Amino acid sequence: MSRKITRLGVLIGALCMHAWAGAATDEYSVISAKEKVGSLIANVDSTKVEITYEVSNNGRGPKVREQLTLNDAGIPTQWTIKGKSLFGGAVDEQFTWQRGSAQWRAQDGKGSARMSQPKLYITNDGSPWSYGLYARMLLKAKDRTLDVAPSGSLRLEELQKTHVGDVPVTAYAITGANLSPEILLLAADGSLFAKLDSREVLVRKGFESKVEQLQTLERNLRVTRLKEMQQRLAHRFDTPIRIRNVRVYDPQTEKLSDVVSVVVYRNRISSVSVEPAGFKPPADEVVIDGNGGTLLAGLHDMHSHNSDESGLFYLAAGVTTVRDLGNDNALLLDLTQRIDQGELPGPRIVRAGLIEGRSSYSARIGRIPETLPEAIDIVRWYSDHGYRQMKIYNSFNPDWVAPVATEAHRLGMRVSGHVPAFMSPDRAIRDGYDEINHINQLVLGWLIGPQEDTRTTLRLTAMGERAATLDLNSEKVRNTIALMKEHKTALDTTMVILERLLASRAGKVQAGDAPYLDHMPIGYQRYRKRSFVDFKNHEEDEAYLISVEKQLELMKKLYSEGIQMLPGTDDTTGFTVHRELELYQKAGIPAARVLRMATYDCEKYLGFEQSLGSIAAGKLADFILLPGDPTKDVSAVRQIRLVMKDGLLYFPSEIYEALGIKPFAEAAVLSGPTS
């Protein structure tokens, strides 16, 4: 056990209020890919709590100090959080309740409210320790539900009792704070034992060796929930489905068709045709009236990192194919199979295998070779397991890129990645890169010196501090673009994540989040109203915003030069796919062309254009129904009424309701047989 000092605890009722008559110290480790990447220490003395939380993973991580004062019921009346957030943004958060009045301030803003008793406060930058506190308070609440401050409510669900080693624990899910349920384990005395996540696990010190068991437990709990949701939300039909009164987007002409009907039988499109006058659908068909809307092939996210729960968000956003660019390999292989078999909801997943180098900045996913022969063997392993692409990461040895790329190409795989530290994009292209991941990984080659380390947050801050004054007509820029044209090198832009990082400002809602954010749970809303970086002065603040515009200008230049750009997000919510497409249009690319880039061009790049990427007889049934005309404004893709993926029918409104999110558009109406 990790307790340094014996806890003299009592339980409040039978509801696990964690109270102390003396001092106690709880210590936790943060584990990613079986390696310790951080720690949490909670010192508790009667009603006072002091927390130190630090993580360093992939060159970034939060570092905060917290102080809490609890009342007799265990609810914080004062909560102060100071430090740095994930990418180094300043954290100075405070909640105070006294004499019937609550006040709070954080990155998302400040507020106050009259309340006779303090409500449970949901932090913006708190450590995972807070979820143990939330769970203990919810255990005492009626129906295990509480209204919380600043707004919203939390709900606790008991999932399973089990043991970790010889310690009895109970698994719970907390919903209402974030997009997905937070899963945690409480010990018998009500203290937090672990907070579970597929990528990082917080676990009580001394139980680090049990992380694999904990992640298996967490995954099984999530999969069980998602299986039930798939059964409820995926509509299956053995009879033809006729979608009438729609216009179909044609990626070849980049225009909408005349009004037609599209018929699907099982997972294939049977016909796309104009109905004769007076035509009545056969009695055995399921009929959907498209109300003059647009039928568009399913959208793509060409830079994803999938989890079990990302699938529903993608489907609700109309994304039917994603390319996973780095993940836990065992999870990804299993997840892909479960989705392909229809057991779990989610888009088609094209897998890329991540290969990294060993350093203090290493990403803790994928594979890390110690020698070049081992790196070559890793390429072969990925190929043998059906991965179609290699992704090289920040700490990889630049001298190994060429031989790894040669072996990948021999096996029919593409090669992409971040540009490894101390290597230029030009050299990466010459050594075999078919594609560069992230627009900043391209631009950094024009901004930094040969000895500057892009494994750190410099890969973000240099984009803000230096890119604003970059001359896109300079010789170095023109040389790289010429090299990309010569080698047919693509760019996976993920412009949305650059906008999110560079344009984030505390207390403000970004333009890309404004259309949907007020539909979200309170914790997610607060998270999106934050700044990820600090600014030394007003001039630097302005430079970051100018840098965003500079990247859009570069996108237009690359488009004009014929460089293939692949829309991706480095995110899993689906909402950022919509914003990525809006940014393509904002850069000056016509909306009708953006639609092609997001559908057919992605499938052609992946090699599946014969069966996917457009709506035509004989192709697989992957498409979405919109009420508007996205060829004029791609923002129309935010209003999806229907999604079909591999012949399974989903209604985004139903998915969002199941996820605790207010829907954005009404579901299309079915008539005819429904079995």
Name the 3-class secondary structure at 111.
strand
191 in the same domain as 312: no
The C-alpha atoms of residue 613 and residue 599 are separated, in whole angstroms, by 5
State which of 184, 213, 232 marks the end of a domain: 232
Residue 166 lies inside a defined structural domain of this protein: yes
Average pLDDT, the chain: 92
CA 399 to mean position of chain CA atoms? 32
Residues 500-518 pLDDT 10s: 989 988 889 999 999 999 9
Q: Are 323 and 607 in contact (CB under 8 A)?
A: no
Residues 55-78 pLDDT 10s: 998 778 899 999 999 999 999 999
295 phi/psi in degrees, rounded to 5: -105, 125
The C-alpha atoms of residue 89 and residue 106 are separated, in whole angstroms, by 12
Q: Going by C-beta distance under 8 Å and a sequence separation of 6 or more, which residues neighbour residue 119?
A: 75, 102, 146, 147, 148, 149
* pLDDT at residue 522, as a whole number: 80
Q: How confident is the model at residue 213 (pLDDT cuts 50, 70, 90)?
A: very high
State which of 232, 262, 282 marks the end of a domain: 232
Q: Which residue has the tokens 């897998």?
A: 351
Residue 594 lies inside a defined structural domain of this protein: yes
The C-alpha atoms of residue 553 and residue 589 are separated, in whole angstroms, by 11
Which two three-digit tokens encode residue 114?
Answer: 């009259």
Degrees (nearest 5) of the Cα angle 650, 651, 656?
115
Where does residue 613 fall: left (phi above 0), alpha (psi -120 to 50 degrees), or beta otherwise?
Answer: left
Q: Going by C-beta distance under 8 Å and a sequence separation of 6 or more, which residues neighbour residue 509?
A: 517, 528, 529
458-465 vs 495-502: helix crossing angle, rounded to 10:
70
Q: Buried b / exposed e across 115-147, counting CB within 10 Å, b at 16+?
A: eeebbbbbbbbbbbbbbbbbbbbbbbbeebebe
184 in the same domain as 321: no
* pLDDT at residue 577, as a whole number: 98
192 in the same domain as 314: no
Residue 642 lies inside a defined structural domain of this protein: no
* pLDDT at residue 10, as a whole number: 32
Residue 246 lies inside a defined structural domain of this protein: no
458-465 vs 538-560: helix crossing angle, rounded to 10:
90
Q: Where would I find the H helices in 488-566?
A: 495-502, 522-528, 538-560
Instruction: Give the C-alpha distances (Å, rounded to integers) separating 87 from 57, 532, 544, 600.
Output: 11, 6, 15, 35
| 145-149 vs 19-20, strand pairing mode | unpaired
* pLDDT at residue 530, as a whole number: 81
354 in the same domain as 446: yes
Residues 221-244 pLDDT 10s: 999 999 999 999 999 999 999 999
Handedness of CA 529, 534, 538, 543 (dihedral sign): negative
Q: Going by C-beta distance under 8 Å and a sequence separation of 6 or more, which residues neighbour residue 618?
A: 268, 269
Which two three-digit tokens encode residue 613?
Answer: 């990427």
- According to DSSP, residue 108 is labeled T
Section 288-311 average pLDDT: 97
The C-alpha atoms of residue 497 and residue 261 are separated, in whole angstroms, by 38
Residue 634 lies inside a defined structural domain of this protein: no
**555, pLDDT greater than 70:** yes
The C-alpha atoms of residue 576 and residue 582 are separated, in whole angstroms, by 10
Name the 3-class secondary structure at 223.
helix
Handedness of CA 339, 345, 348, 353 (dihedral sign): negative
Q: Any idea of the CA torsion for 582, 585, 591, 593, to the nearest 10 degrees?
A: -110
Section 215-222 average pLDDT: 94
Residue 515 lies inside a defined structural domain of this protein: yes
Q: Which residue has the tokens 């820029």?
A: 477
425 in the same domain as 548: yes
**6, pLDDT greater than 70:** no
What's the structural domain count of the chain? 2
Q: What whole-number percentage of the chain has pLDDT above 90?
A: 83
88 in the same domain as 217: yes
The C-alpha atoms of residue 133 and residue 137 are separated, in whole angstroms, by 6
**What single string gives the DSSP state of each residue in 149-218?**
ESS-EEEEEEEEEEEETTEEEEEEEEESSSSS-EEEEEETTS-EEEEE-SS-EEEETT-GGGHHHHHHHH
Helix then strand then coil, in percent of the chain rounded to 5, is 30, 30, 40
Top pLDDT among 27 and 366 is at 27
Name the 3-class secondary structure at 373.
helix
340 in the same domain as 221: no
306 in the same domain as 225: no
Task: Select from 14, 13, 66 the least CA-distant residue to 44.
Answer: 66
The C-alpha atoms of residue 70 and residue 118 are separated, in whole angstroms, by 10
- According to DSSP, residue 648 is labeled E
Furthest C-alpha separation in the chain: 84
Name the 3-class secondary structure at 250.
strand
- Structure pTM? 0.88
- According to DSSP, residue 367 is labeled B
Residue 626 lies inside a defined structural domain of this protein: no
The C-alpha atoms of residue 220 and residue 496 are separated, in whole angstroms, by 32
Section 20-27 average pLDDT: 72
Degrees (nearest 5) of the Cα angle 57, 61, 66?
135
The C-alpha atoms of residue 581 and residue 565 are separated, in whole angstroms, by 11
The C-alpha atoms of residue 151 and residue 651 are separated, in whole angstroms, by 28
* pLDDT at residue 674, as a whole number: 58
304 in the same domain as 192: no
Q: Going by C-beta distance under 8 Å and a sequence separation of 6 or more, which residues neighbour residue 511?
A: none
Q: How confident is the model at residue 22 (pLDDT cuts 50, 70, 90)?
A: low
CA 616 to mean position of chain CA atoms? 31
391 in the same domain as 496: yes
End-to-end CA, the chain? 55
The C-alpha atoms of residue 496 and residue 498 are separated, in whole angstroms, by 5
Which two three-digit tokens encode residue 359?
Answer: 């350093």
Write the CATH number for 559.
Answer: 3.20.20.140
Q: Any idea of the CA torsion for 439, 442, 446, 448, to the nearest 10 degrees?
A: 90
Name the 3-class secondary structure at 254.
coil
Residues 612-647 pLDDT 10s: 999 999 999 999 999 999 999 999 999 999 999 999
Which two three-digit tokens encode residue 232?
Answer: 């409820």
Q: How confident is the model at residue 107 (pLDDT cuts 50, 70, 90)?
A: confident
Give strand pairing partners of 297. 623
The boundaries of the domain holding residue 571 are 298-607
State which of 591, 607, 623 marks the end of a domain: 607
Q: Which residue has the tokens 């997840």?
A: 335
Residue 614 lies inside a defined structural domain of this protein: no
Highest mean pLDDT, choosing among 173-182, 361-370, 415-424, 446-455: 415-424
The C-alpha atoms of residue 532 and residue 73 are separated, in whole angstroms, by 35
Q: Going by C-beta distance under 8 Å and a sequence separation of 6 or more, which residues neighbour residue 399?
A: none
Name the 3-class secondary structure at 608.
coil
Q: Are 621 and 268 in contact (CB under 8 A)?
A: yes
* pLDDT at residue 507, as a whole number: 85
Name the 3-class secondary structure at 425.
helix
* pLDDT at residue 395, as a whole number: 95
507 in the same domain as 362: yes
Handedness of CA 624, 312, 308, 362 (dihedral sign): positive
**441, pLDDT greater than 60:** yes
Least confident of 180-194, 274-288, 354-368: 354-368
333 in the same domain as 207: no
Q: Residue 382 is inside which H or E element, if any?
A: helix 372-384
